[in-house]
Structure 1
Amino acid sequence: MHAILVLATLVKCLLIPTYHSTDFEVHRNWMAITHSLPFSQWYKNATSEWTLDYPPFFAWFEKALSSMAALMDPDMLRIQRDPLFNETVLFYQRGTVIVSELVLYWGLCRYLKVDRTTANALMVASVFLHPGLWIVDHIHFQYNGLLYGILVHSLVEARKQRYLTCAALFATLLNFKHIYLYIAPAYFVYLLGAYCFIDGTSKFSVARFSATGAVVIAVFALSLAPIIYTGQVPDLVSRLFPFTRGLCHAYWAPNIWALYAGLDRVLIIGAKKLGWAYDVAAVASMTRGYVGDTVFAVLPTVEAFHTLIITVLVQMLVLQVMWRKPTFDNFISSLTLCGFASYMFGWHVHEKAIMIVLVPYSFMAAKSKFHLRVFTILSSAGIVSLFPLLFQIQETPIKVLLTSMWYMTLFPGLCYCLQTKLRELLSLMECLYIMGLLLVGIFVTSGHHLIFGDQYEFLPLMLTSVYCAVGVVYGWVMLMYAHLAQL
């Protein structure tokens, strides 16, 4: 693992000058807010459009980063409406991502000590070298490595049956980024079944339940008490849960709603030819931008409460297995599927959220041929769905090379460990689907421009989203079937 750390760090350093998204300015602005303003103004300041919209622990993390940034260049911490970018900002922020990802490295090393099989060692290394993390963190720019590191540490504690530490770490994670509410039901049921019910019996321990609750409440109190004291609760809630946004992001995350939206587009064509009634004003709504209610021209409009009901029902179904048998393997499977349910059916899901499925499911992929098969399909579709984040042509060789090397190392190695021939891992249709991803990539990169020129600008993103959604939905159905077969 140490050699992998050194090699990965060197490559990440080479990626420093590559493309970066608006998230670069988002996090710089958050550093400026936490450094220059009193705590009482952190969630109120709106000088820039990139307001602070993560929970308090992440805000304090930005505060710590700003303290070091001030020693390098105080101008980096100016609060201003327009973006600020220079070489100091570039190198400092890229460096903080690389350093913070050591939390993930440490967690993976701890996980490997619990299970030292060759297959698990290969999978652990693959998580640290995951193309999704390279794309989202080290090029596009975010701090997911730090957050998934905390998640892995909590999984290690769960596997070691240190349940209170597991609960404390997950509560900490929730106060770093609230997207992990997706998997909170899995933690609740697992801790309840594995810890609060003594030794798998029906004997419920009030003391253990109280201790778990006290640990979680203590973490949330540490995070939220200053928010309550300074009267920022309404500001925090409105920023963490912006329900004014539409069902789909500007680029549709490849989930069930991408297929729904894609079907609506197809039906529009049919409506025009057959004279059906449709909402003309809705035709452009799906590519309108970041905010606004998403409506459909032909199909019924989906509201936020619809997505909430579907997500909760699917999660409740998933959790039945762990409730009956709260083992660690069922915990990982349920955790993955709870995150998957939110990704599949949630409101305004971002494409980057696929990582909340791929990272925990990685730890299942080394256990059987079936899980490796599903993981192959999900990884293929999930990683390709992240490619549009790096839309500049000069980043194309980088994302393709990183992904190809990861694939050529991981999957043959895991097949060998599981005594499975690589050519027998997938069915013919599954192989053809993955080959289709290559064709989609070629079309998006060059084929669309050659065929259509500047027309149909929406088509590359729509095609990527819908095609990747087919693989993601297929993988979800397979995993759900295997999970629920235990009932």
Structure 2
Amino acid sequence: MAAAGGSGGCWFLALALGVSLLKCLLIPTYHSTDFEVHRNWLAITHNLPVSEWYYEATSEWTLDYPPFFAWFEYALSHVAKYFDQEMLVIQNLNYSSHATVFFQRLSVIFTDILFVYAARECCRCVNGKRPGKELLEKPMFVLAVLLLWNFGLLIVDHIHFQYNGFLFGLMLLSVARLFQKRHLEGALLFAVLLHFKHIYIYVAPAYCVYLLRSYCFTANKADGSLKWSSFSFLRITLLGLIVCLVSALSLGPFAVLGQLPQVISRLFPFKRGLCHAYWAPNFWALYNAVDKTLAVVGIKYKFLDPEKIPKASMTGGLVQEFQHTVLPSVTPLATLICTFISILPSVFCLWFKPQGPRGFLQCLILCALSSFMFGWHVHEKAILLAILPLSLLSVESPKHAGIYLILTTTGHFSLFPLLFTPPEITTKILLMLLFTVYSFSSLRALFRKEGPLLNWLETIYLIELVPLEIFCEIVFPLTPWKLKFPFIPLLLTSVYCALGITYAWLKLYVSVLTESVTVRQKAE
């Protein structure tokens, strides 16, 4: 990517205002238990001293985000009291007055201003010199739409309900700053982000390696080699100070109170089990499906004793620990090892054959996808951590555009079960259809001279999502299986989408590794 000026303008403002209006129209829609989670956090931080924030357990939705997010809720609570004081009563579980709904929805929309600004900065980092007769065919315009109107972010934040917008804004802004060679600012933004939501630790290896390699070392211009004589102790000291100061500001008060173990136990609740209540479409969904299939076959052909099968069901919709029936059960350590091994190749490529900020972005996406594929108790919403940054690469090359179309289509479709109430079915289908049609048409127009972005097999796979949705939403509810096997739509959606996401992950990895070999051969 190359810096390009003039990405701002009326068209960007129009896009931002348009999506903000849509978000306002979504205020009355269904909201999940996450709405009550954040209402409870407002009440906790507003009424209790800091020393009790991570101990309070009146509600089952205890505070389990890092301290910066707790302070964010504290700040919001002082505005919330002017809308409805009752929402700030800890004992008012599941409280959702009209004023409460309006305030919480509005708070998400307002904090999205940071995401809008970050999207604008990312657009400025895109190479806008690709020929195109119309504004609609310019990479900057396409990227702005892919970010601002991202279907997954819309439904997760503004229907399901969460505050991912401003958090992704921090991440994308830090990425933009690294593209602009403002390394310390990028590092500061990412350090702050980690103390807002610790899931972003998934991509921390990419930041650590890139900053160490590109900021702390000065590479030999002739062959790109590194020597300790080119290492800057001043620069690594500055990076270390940023990390330490941010961490001290966030965790310091709890360390003084002797509460760090309690905070950490809330942030990393390993007793929640391998998979979320709804399986994220990753490797473990495929693993669970194979185990379930082997169990059914084993019982049918009397290889297994039904009485000895664990009662905790992987498909029961509960967050809990369970044992696999046939395959070896998976531990948190096993998932950590798998995740570590899966990100190593991308990290090695970033270190030994760097390609500047673009190589960093590829590594960041692979770290996010690898953690999604093999992590412990991964939420399906975490796929956005890979989809949004991949948007930046999708407007740069047809290869990444094809991978983006596969990942974003399957990843967004996998979010459908989050919105299961009848009034939202039409909304989610229409919004995804509009976003998907735009993604395909705009990227195809952007790379019309490079040929098809997808091969025939990839196209067929994506088209098959249509009959899958028809079966899950229309056909299955009319069958007698609905009462006996209520988990089947979730299982089918998760497993089918897991195939596409796994394929996109592998294809991106092959692309990065092949590209690194090509760069090495040219250098030699």
| TM-score, normalisation: structure 2 | 0.90
Q: Is the 8 A contact 1:123 1:362 kept in 2?
A: yes
- Report the counterpart of residue 185 of structure 1 in structure 2: 205
Q: Is the 8 A contact 1:196 1:205 kept in 2?
A: yes
Q: Is the 8 A contact 2:409 2:436 kept in 1?
A: no
- Report the counterpart of residue 376 of structure 2 in structure 1: 347
Instruction: Give how far 1:440 is off.
Output: 1.0
What does the per-residue CA deviation read over 1:115-146, in whole Å, with 9 as the maximum and x for residues that have no partner? 36221331132111101001100000000001
Q: State the distance in 2 between where 1:82 and 1:413 align.
A: 46
- Report the counterpart of residue 58 of structure 2 in structure 1: 47
- Report the counterpart of residue 315 of structure 1 in structure 2: 343
Q: State the distance in 1 between where 2:96 and 2:375 align.
A: 34
- Report the counterpart of residue 520 of structure 2 in structure 1: none
Where 1:376 maps in the other structure, the secondary structure is: helix
Q: State the distance in 2 between where 1:111 and 1:10 align.
A: 22
What does the per-residue CA deviation read over 1:239-274, in whole Å, with 9 as the maximum and x for residues that have no partner? 100011111111110000101111111112210222
List 4+ stretches of structure 1 deviating above 4 A: none
Amino acid at match of 2:330: V
Instruction: Give how far 1:420 is off.
Output: 4.5
What does the per-residue CA deviation read over 1:426-470, in whole Å, with 9 as the maximum and x for residues that have no partner? 111111111111111111101112233433111000000000001
Higher deviation after alignment, 262-271 or 291-300:
291-300
Q: State the distance in 1 between where 2:262 and 2:311 align.
A: 34
Amino acid at match of 1:375: Y
Q: State the distance in 1 between where 2:319 and 2:429 align.
A: 31
1:94 aligns with 2:105: yes
- Report the counterpart of residue 229 of structure 1 in structure 2: 256
What does the per-residue CA deviation read over 1:310-336, in whole Å, with 9 as the maximum and x for residues that have no partner? 111111221011001331111000000
Q: State the distance in 2 between where 1:290 and 1:119 align.
A: 44
What does the per-residue CA deviation read over 1:294-351, in whole Å, with 9 as the maximum and x for residues that have no partner? 3211111111111101111111221011001331111000000001111000111110
- Report the counterpart of residue 426 of structure 1 in structure 2: 454
Instruction: Give how far 1:290 is off.
Output: 4.3
Q: State the distance in 1 between where 2:73 and 2:43 align.
A: 9
RMSD: 1.5
Alignment equivalent of 2:176, drawn from 141, 153, 156: 156
Q: How does 1:87-486 map to 2 (within 5 A)?
A: 87-115=98-126, 117=128, 118-199=138-219, 201-202=226-227, 203-277=230-304, 280-282=308-310, 284-326=312-354, 327-420=356-449, 424-452=452-480, 453-485=482-514, 486=516
| TM-score, normalisation: structure 1 | 0.97
Q: State the distance in 1 between where 2:140 and 2:24 align.
A: 27
Higher deviation after alignment, 168-177 or 7-16:
7-16
Q: State the distance in 1 between where 2:233 and 2:318 align.
A: 46
- Report the counterpart of residue 23 of structure 2 in structure 1: 12
- Report the counterpart of residue 60 of structure 1 in structure 2: 71
Higher deviation after alignment, 36-45 or 280-289:
280-289
Q: State the distance in 2 between where 1:481 and 1:116 align.
A: 24
Give the direction of change, closer, same or farther, for the CA distance of 1:390–1:456 in structure 2 (3 Å limit): same
Q: Is the 8 A contact 1:48 1:81 kept in 2?
A: no
Unaligned runs of at least 5 residues, structure 2: 1-11, 129-137, 518-524
Q: State the distance in 2 between where 1:74 and 1:418 align.
A: 54
Q: State the distance in 2 between where 1:85 and 1:295 align.
A: 37
Alignment: residue pair count: 486
Q: Is the 8 A contact 1:248 1:294 kept in 2?
A: no
Give the direction of change, closer, same or farther, for the CA distance of 1:95–1:130 in structure 2 (3 Å limit): same
Q: State the distance in 2 between where 1:278 and 1:331 align.
A: 51
What does the per-residue CA deviation read over 1:203-238, in whole Å, with 9 as the maximum and x for residues that have no partner? 211111111111111111111111112222122111
Q: State the distance in 1 between where 2:491 and 2:300 align.
A: 21
Q: Is the 8 A contact 1:154 1:166 kept in 2?
A: yes
What does the per-residue CA deviation read over 1:160-192, in whole Å, with 9 as the maximum and x for residues that have no partner? 111111111000000000000000011000000
Amino acid at match of 1:159: F
Q: State the distance in 1 between where 2:344 and 2:506 align.
A: 16
Where 1:47 maps in the other structure, the secondary structure is: coil
- Report the counterpart of residue 72 of structure 1 in structure 2: 83
Give the direction of change, closer, same or farther, for the CA distance of 1:246–1:176 in structure 2 (3 Å limit): same
Q: State the distance in 1 between where 2:201 and 2:139 align.
A: 30
- % same residue: 45
Q: State the distance in 1 between where 2:425 and 2:275 align.
A: 25
Q: State the distance in 1 between where 2:107 and 2:140 align.
A: 28
Instruction: Give how far 1:403 is off.
Output: 0.9
Instruction: Give how far 1:483 is off.
Output: 1.2
Q: Is the 8 A contact 1:31 1:65 kept in 2?
A: yes
Give the direction of change, closer, same or farther, for the CA distance of 1:224–1:284 in structure 2 (3 Å limit): closer
Higher deviation after alignment, 138-147 or 106-115:
106-115
Amino acid at match of 2:105: R
Higher deviation after alignment, 276-285 or 374-383:
276-285
Q: State the distance in 2 between where 1:309 and 1:4 align.
A: 43
Q: State the distance in 2 between where 1:463 and 1:387 align.
A: 12
Q: Is the 8 A contact 1:195 1:208 kept in 2?
A: yes
Q: Is the 8 A contact 1:415 1:421 kept in 2?
A: no
- Report the counterpart of residue 85 of structure 1 in structure 2: 96
- Report the counterpart of residue 3 of structure 2 in structure 1: none
Q: Is the 8 A contact 1:33 1:79 kept in 2?
A: yes
Amino acid at match of 1:261: N
